[in-house]
Amino acid sequence: MTKLEKQDCPFCKTKNLTLIEEKKEIPYFGNLFIFSMSCSNCHYNKSDVEAEEQKESAKYTITTEKEEDMKIRVIKSSNATVKIPQLRMSVTPGPASIGYISNIEGLLDRFVKIIEGKRDESEDPKEKKHAKNLLKKIRKVKFGDIPLKIIIEDPSGNSAIISDKAKVEKLK
């Protein structure tokens, strides 16, 4: 692992930025480089993952069916789009997009935070009720009570769902 501290932050211009690069081997995927930068002053944070060997663009699709599926490993690069069609939700790449290594439960928790934020900020009772229903649905998914399809599309090929259950296609 390489760690550089007291670097210039591109946002607040102080020397409080920490840069980290780490190489990690992920079974059934290969070696990854994990990059992150964070500023202790303005709390800027950015991370990404990149495969050591060149990968082709890919679309991963999985349907969770039981609680055990929440443990399936997920690698998402900052270039990837994550879609959950049944919830009509997606996260697309952009300047604020980050890469991460997690599992399906962790991926769903990221959506939960977004839904909770919208619920808490909304003044509209219909929006609050809709958010509450989405959160209930995700809870049921986590316990394996209802199936859920998750799609990750990555033009860089640096994302993956590590499971025999995952369907892998070339991204069109």
Using one digit for the tens of pLDDT, what is the confidence trace for 9-55?
A: 999 999 999 999 999 998 878 899 999 999 999 999 999 999 998 88
Q: Which of 26, 53, 80 is the last residue of a domain?
A: 53
Q: If you average pLDDT over residues 128-146, what whole number do you get?
A: 96
What residues pair up with 36 in beta bridges, in sequence order?
20, 47
* Spatial separation of the C-alpha atoms in residues 83 and 75, rounded to whole Å: 14
Counting the structural domains of the chain, the total is: 2
pLDDT band at 134 (very low <50, low <70, confident <90, very high): very high
Domain boundary among 16, 38, 53: 53
Residue 97: per-residue pLDDT: 87
Q: Give pLDDT, residue 96.
A: 79
Are 8 and 61 within one domain? no
Query: Strand, coil or helix: what is 64?
Result: strand
DSSP H or E run through 105 = helix 104-121
CA distance 80 to 155: 7
Query: What pTM value is reported for the model?
Result: 0.88
State whether 73 and 39 are in the same domain.
Answer: no
Tell me the average pLDDT of the chain.
Answer: 95
Question: What pLDDT is stored for residue 95 in this prediction?
Answer: 77
Torsion, Cα of 144, 154, 27, 1 (10° steps): -120
Q: Which domain holds residue 22?
A: 1-53
Name the nearest CA neighbour of 138 among 87, 98, 71.
Answer: 87
